[in-house]
Amino acid sequence: MADTVVISGGTVALGDGSAPIPNGQVVITDGRVVAAGDIRMKLPAGTRVIDATGKWVTPGIVAGFSRLGLVDVDAVDQTNDTSSDGPFSAALDVATAINPNAAPVAINRAEGITRAVVAPSAGKSIFAGQGALIDTAADADPVTRARLFQYVELGEQGAGQAGGSRTAAHVLLRNALREAQQVAGGGGSSRADSGRSAGGAGSDPVIANPNESRSYEARRNQDVLLTRFDALALVPVVRGRQILAVHVERAADLRQVIALKREFPALRLVIVGADEGWTVASELAAANIPVIASALSDLPAQFENLAATQSNIGRMRAAGVRVAIGTVNDDESRMAFRARYYAGNLVGLTRVPRASGLSWGEALKAITSAPAEVLGLTDIGSLTPGKRGDVVIWNGDPLDNMSAAEMVMIDGVEQPLVTRQTRLRDRYRDLERGALPEAYRH
Amino acid sequence: MRGAIGVAFAALMVAGCATTGTGSKDDGTRVRIAEDPFPSTYQRYSGAPTLITGVTILDGEGGRIDNGQVYFADGKIQAVGQTVAAPAGAQVIDGTGKYVTPGVIDIHSHLGDYPSPGVAAHDDGNEATAPARPEVWAEHSVWPQDSGFSRALANGGITALQILPGSANLFGGRSVVLKNVPARTVQGMKMPGAPYGLKMACGENPKRVYGEKGGPATRMGNIAVTRQTWINARAYKRKWDEYEKNGGDPPDQDLAMDTLKGVLEGKILVQNHCYRADEMAQMIDLSKEAGYKISAFHHAVESYKIADLLRANGICAAMWADWYGFKMEAYDAIPENIAFVDRAGACAIVHSDDPNGIQRLNQEAAKAMAAGRRAGIPISEEHAWTWLGMNPAKALGIFDRVGSLKSGKDADVVLWNGNPFSTYTRPERVWIDGALMYDANNPKLRPVSDFELGQPGEGDVK
């Protein structure tokens, strides 16, 4: 077994919803999980064995919703690439802006976040653009999956962007999807999105990456509202080849999103937010629309989430909705690492009378394999064989905020855990005046 | 607007006339400034004499008793110990496997001033119309129906909190300390006898807000306006001191200057929003020049760089456990900040500044304690609780009343359903002045604000 690492002796949690396994083992070969759990493999001499006795081992945490890598300092505009006031909307592609050297990437990596779902935020349009899956590895190649989903604001924010009402947002949405259908049905060359064409080569004018300068002429009506780039970018959405992630919170808005599926059957919908999701949980489950929700939102912060409760995720889960935790409206450019505290809090809720939480295994799943599954990602999020080798060793229960990551592997590669914060900590560990100023302490 | 304030001034002047007998030349007609024109009407609710047994006690000032007992009655802590004497009629609660702490104090909250829902009509935290507005009082913006109060009670065990004006202004106005009880009026929440605070701010926020409104637009502008304002305040105080002493024509009353005079007299405590180490040092020098003491720096993300300076000047630092990077002056935040300040012997406080964070201040303390331990600093649970108990109480000038479980203090008590440093733990019961205000086991003991009545989710567990 070339390039094999074995993590042995720790409490192993697979991230698939199951309970943790004491004294387990995780085997990674060539960047992939080979086996994990209550197993013992015969290891060739020279295999690297990491003793995790007394520690916990989990898949890397997947930030279910974030803007990681798009921002260094939120309030410094030049470092903040989350949204645009420019002419384009749906065509915007976060993959072009991800900065693997941004301080928050390293800080979240050191906290055990190995992958992050990264969404743009909406500028002038209800369409924010295309989100990606990234890794947090200390290398030059952060994007795991570009253009994973299109992100659209309905609800209060979308209403504002559309001109002041939800009605306007819905007409804009429908208009845009129809323009996209029109573009898709138009002539032009066929640069099918590689290998995934449903309509067969020749009938599919969609290019894999609309930002590549290979756009083509399409016949369109005179009253188009979208730029050609934006219309093209929505073609994969109307064809069901790209997820449409819709941010809504209110029960009535959730029902409108469910209704979209009847109108546009090909849409692959994911709902982001859903603070009032528990009130329509059975409808969400019946429509088989998965949800990425904030875990602890419990204030009527706006009129669109009057029914917010920390029991939201537990109740949706109990009703059969596929739910992942994301930091929605919650310092999402920097604080994705809080996902595991939030998951832990949902475990704590199971001890509060009448509240609904998650079992420990389900809570870990909500921040590992659930975000992956919600977004149709098959190769991350758990320690089942064949998955990417994203593994974290913790000094204790990873859902308890007293614990910390001690080793982080991404694609089987051990990652540095040094951050600006650890450097500052070490520089100011003592304040004794030395022979040279603090600036000489490295 | 100005005219209306002028009328109010005049009315206050008349109302403020009173005899006090101080000053040899006071013939009884001396004008007095009303120091408490919006007095607290808070009255404790009734509670049963209660004995909690078999419980782990973190007393809030560094003490710990395992398998101990707490007895409270008549609104006060009566006894805390391994075993305590309690009358036969006392209600007994078996606390085995659970923890008791003093009620959590959040020194930095905007509940009521920035309530939920956060619509523009509720945006009442910053009187951002001039860089120095010490005449405004946060209590006049507090909406008692903010659902955030009940969430802080039920999920965070918050029993007392300071509501501050925002940080748009160099002088944001007066703060108010509340007991976390539902009430129809803010007066019904005001903690009797708690000193007022003055919210001051330095750094980016005033600069950003006033940069295009006539200034100040820079940090040097911030300091200049702040110093000049204190110079004016000292002159105002001199006038009133002279009048108090010798009579004559009363000086014109100025609400803004009244607040600053109160600070110079040590009656109002300065709560200073400030992030950077270098700026905190500037504010310390400035306070010495002006003649006041800073009670606490709030946010204080670079405290760890000057923890020795904070200790030497007896200034507390109220900090977050893990916030960082949201603006330039928060770029150097580190998770060890609280622990490093504490280790230096300075007064460390965990604060929220947030309607969500206030619901988990115990967990924030846990993160800070854990970060400190990982950095090699041994911090006990009982010591870490001083960050939520004794230290904020001291910085608010209310430690004689709250902040620790000592006999004679207000019976603000939280019974946690496990170790409160665990993410899995929640308050099981919360008492304020000995009255049971929240009980996880009793759906009727969960406040529902007027705003929530008749709305989706009303009365839910939240």
pLDDT digits (tens, 9 = 90+) for A205-264: 455 555 554 444 445 566 678 999 999 999 999 999 999 999 999 999 999 999 999 889
- Decide if B325 and A299 are in contact by the 8 Å CB cutoff: no
Q: Are strands B435-439 and B158-163 parallel, antiparallel or unpaired?
A: unpaired
Q: Render the burial of B247-279: b for 16+ CB within 10 Å, e for the rest.
A: beebbebbbbbbbbbbbbeeebbbbbbbbbbeb
Examine the pLDDT at B17 and tell me if it is beyond 70.
Answer: no
Backbone angle region of A147, left / alpha / beta, with phi > 0 → left and psi within -120 to 50 → alpha = left
- Collapse the DSSP code of A108 into the 3-class scheme (helix H, G, I; strand E, B; otherwise coil) and give the result: helix
Distance (Å, whole) CA B174 – CA B138 = 6
Closest partner CB to A308 (pick from B366, B369, B457): B457
Closest partner CB to B326 (pick from A74, A303, A355): A74
Q: Are strands B197-201 and B171-179 parallel, antiparallel or unpaired?
A: antiparallel
Q: Which pair of structure tokens corresponds to residue B428?
A: 């099981």
Which of these ranges, A190-199, A394-403, B243-252, B375-384, has the smallest mean pLDDT?
A190-199
- Collapse the DSSP code of A128 into the 3-class scheme (helix H, G, I; strand E, B; otherwise coil) and give the result: strand
A418–chain B Cβ distance below 8 A for any pair: no
Range B369-392 average pLDDT: 98
Question: Considering only alpha carbons, which residue of chain B is nearest residue A156?
Answer: B119
Instruction: Look at residue A213 in the predicted model and tell me its pLDDT.
Output: 44
Closest partner CB to A334 (pick from B324, B335, B417): B324
pLDDT classification of A46: cutoffs 50, 70, 90: confident
Please tell me which residue, A143 or B1, carries the higher pLDDT value. Answer: A143
Q: Which pair of structure tokens corresponds to residue A259?
A: 């209704």
Cα–Cα distances (Å) from A195 to A199, A359, A426, in that order, read 11, 39, 50
Instruction: Look at residue A442 in the predicted model and tell me its pLDDT.
Output: 84
Instruction: Look at residue B18 in the predicted model and tell me its pLDDT.
Output: 42
Q: Distance (Å) from the C-alpha of residue B252 to the closest C-alpha of chain A?
A: 42
Range A34-57 average pLDDT: 93
Instruction: Look at residue B326 in the predicted model and tell me its pLDDT.
Output: 98
Taking one residue from A and the other from B, the number of pairs with CB-CB distance under 8 angstroms is 159
Q: Which pair of structure tokens corresponds to residue A387?
A: 């998955």
pLDDT digits (tens, 9 = 90+) for A309-330: 999 999 999 999 999 999 999 9
Examine the pLDDT at A201 and tell me if it is beyond 80.
Answer: no
Instruction: Look at residue A222 in the predicted model and tell me its pLDDT.
Output: 61
Minimal CA–CA distance to B70: which of B423, B369, B416? B416
Beta bridge partners of B175: B197
pLDDT digits (tens, 9 = 90+) for B412-451: 999 999 999 999 999 999 999 999 999 999 999 999 999 9
- Decide if A309 and B322 are in contact by the 8 Å CB cutoff: no
Query: What residues of chain A, 387 to 416, have a C-beta less than 8 Å from chain B?
Result: 399-404
Examine the pLDDT at A1 and tell me if it is beyond 60.
Answer: no
A16, A20, A24, A30 alpha-carbon torsion, rounded to 10° = 30
Distance (Å, whole) CA A125 – CA A416 = 39
Question: Considering only alpha carbons, which residue of chain B is nearest residue A304?
Answer: B117
Size of chain B, expressed as the number of residues it contains: 462
Backbone angle region of A146, left / alpha / beta, with phi > 0 → left and psi within -120 to 50 → alpha = beta
- Decide if B369 and A402 are in contact by the 8 Å CB cutoff: yes
pLDDT digits (tens, 9 = 90+) for A349-401: 999 999 999 999 999 999 999 999 999 999 999 999 999 999 999 999 999 99
- Decide if A421 and B335 are in contact by the 8 Å CB cutoff: yes
pLDDT digits (tens, 9 = 90+) for B267-283: 999 999 999 999 999 99
The interface predicted TM-score (ipTM) is: 0.93
Range A423-435 average pLDDT: 95
A440–chain B Cβ distance below 8 A for any pair: no
Q: Which long-range contacts (CB under 8 A, 24 or more apart) does B447-452 make?
A: B447/B149, B447/B150, B447/B153, B447/B154, B447/B182, B448/B150, B449/B145, B449/B146, B449/B147, B449/B149, B449/B150, B449/B182, B450/B145, B451/A300, B451/B116, B451/B117, B451/B145, B451/B146, B451/B147, B452/A300, B452/A306, B452/B147
- Share of residues in chain A with pLDDT > 70 (%): 91
Closest partner CB to A355 (pick from B117, B425, B461): B461
Distance (Å, whole) CA B190 – CA B187 = 5
Residue pair B165/B136 in contact by the 8 Å Cβ criterion: yes
Q: Which pair of structure tokens corresponds to residue B6?
A: 């002028």
Instruction: Look at residue A207 in the predicted model and tell me its pLDDT.
Output: 52
Range B393-408 average pLDDT: 98
A347–chain B Cβ distance below 8 A for any pair: yes
- Decide if A299 and B116 are in contact by the 8 Å CB cutoff: yes
Instruction: Look at residue A219 in the predicted model and tell me its pLDDT.
Output: 53
Examine the pLDDT at B393 and tell me if it is beyond 70.
Answer: yes
DSSP annotation of B61 reads S
Question: Considering only alpha carbons, which residue of chain B is nearest residue A77?
Answer: B327
Chain A environment of B109 (Cβ under 8 Å) = none
Residue pair B410/B401 in contact by the 8 Å Cβ criterion: yes
Distance (Å, whole) CA B236 – CA B258 = 8
Instruction: Look at residue A210 in the predicted model and tell me its pLDDT.
Output: 55
Distance (Å, whole) CA B36 – CA B69 = 39
Chain A environment of B370 (Cβ under 8 Å) = 401-404
Q: Distance (Å) from the C-alpha of residue A395 to the closest C-alpha of chain B?
A: 10
Question: Considering only alpha carbons, which residue of chain A is nearest residue B427?
Answer: A352
Minimal CA–CA distance to A216: which of A200, A227, A205? A205
- Decide if B366 and A401 are in contact by the 8 Å CB cutoff: yes
Closest partner CB to A400 (pick from B422, B426, B452): B422
Instruction: Look at residue A45 in the predicted model and tell me its pLDDT.
Output: 85
Closest partner CB to A401 (pick from B151, B355, B423): B423
Instruction: Look at residue B19 in the predicted model and tell me its pLDDT.
Output: 42
pLDDT digits (tens, 9 = 90+) for A368-382: 999 999 999 999 999
- As a whole number, the mean pLDDT across chain B is 94
- Decide if A298 and B327 are in contact by the 8 Å CB cutoff: no
- Residue to mutate among A298, A325, A334, A426, with most B CBs inside 10 A, is A298
Chain B environment of A421 (Cβ under 8 Å) = 324, 333-335
Q: Which helix (H) or strand (E) holds B163?
A: strand B158-163
Question: Considering only alpha carbons, which residue of chain B is nearest residue A311?
Answer: B462
- Decide if B422 and A402 are in contact by the 8 Å CB cutoff: yes
Residue pair A415/A64 in contact by the 8 Å Cβ criterion: no
Instruction: Look at residue B2 in the predicted model and tell me its pLDDT.
Output: 37
Instruction: Look at residue A439 in the predicted model and tell me its pLDDT.
Output: 94
Residue pair A375/A148 in contact by the 8 Å Cβ criterion: yes
- Residue to mutate among A68, A108, A276, A428, with most B CBs inside 10 A, is A428
Query: What residues of chain A, 314 to 333, have a C-beta less than 8 Å from chain B?
Result: 330-331
Side chain identity at residue B332, one-letter code: D
- Residue to mutate among A309, A350, A402, with most B CBs inside 10 A, is A402
Closest partner CB to A298 (pick from B151, B325, B331): B151
Question: Considering only alpha carbons, which residue of chain B is nearest residue A312?
Answer: B462
Side chain identity at residue A123, one-letter code: G
pTM of the model: 0.93
Instruction: Look at residue A3 in the predicted model and tell me its pLDDT.
Output: 87
Distance (Å, whole) CA B344 – CA B389 = 19
Query: What residues of chain A, 355 to 374, have a C-beta less than 8 Å from chain B?
Result: 355
Q: Distance (Å) from the C-alpha of residue A387 to the closest C-alpha of chain B?
A: 29
- Decide if B327 and A73 are in contact by the 8 Å CB cutoff: yes
Residue pair B150/B246 in contact by the 8 Å Cβ criterion: no
Closest partner CB to B304 (pick from A76, A251, A428): A428
How does DSSP assign B294-355, residue by residue? EEEEEE-TTGGGSHHHHHHHT-EEEE-SS---SSGGGTT--TTHHHHHHHTT-EEEE---ST
A240–chain B Cβ distance below 8 A for any pair: no
- Residue to mutate among A70, A77, A306, A423, with most B CBs inside 10 A, is A306
- Decide if A348 and B452 are in contact by the 8 Å CB cutoff: no
Q: Which helix (H) or strand (E) holds A6?
A: strand A4-8
Range A176-198 average pLDDT: 61
Minimal CA–CA distance to B461: which of A300, A355, A350? A355
pLDDT digits (tens, 9 = 90+) for B173-214: 999 999 999 999 999 999 999 999 999 999 999 999 999 999
Examine the pLDDT at A278 and tell me if it is beyond 70.
Answer: yes
Chain A environment of B438 (Cβ under 8 Å) = none
Instruction: Look at residue B372 in the predicted model and tell me its pLDDT.
Output: 98
pLDDT digits (tens, 9 = 90+) for A92-135: 999 999 999 999 999 999 999 999 999 999 999 999 999 999 99
pLDDT classification of A199: cutoffs 50, 70, 90: very low
Phi then psi for B438, rounded to 5 degrees? -150, 135
Beta bridge partners of A32: A29, A388
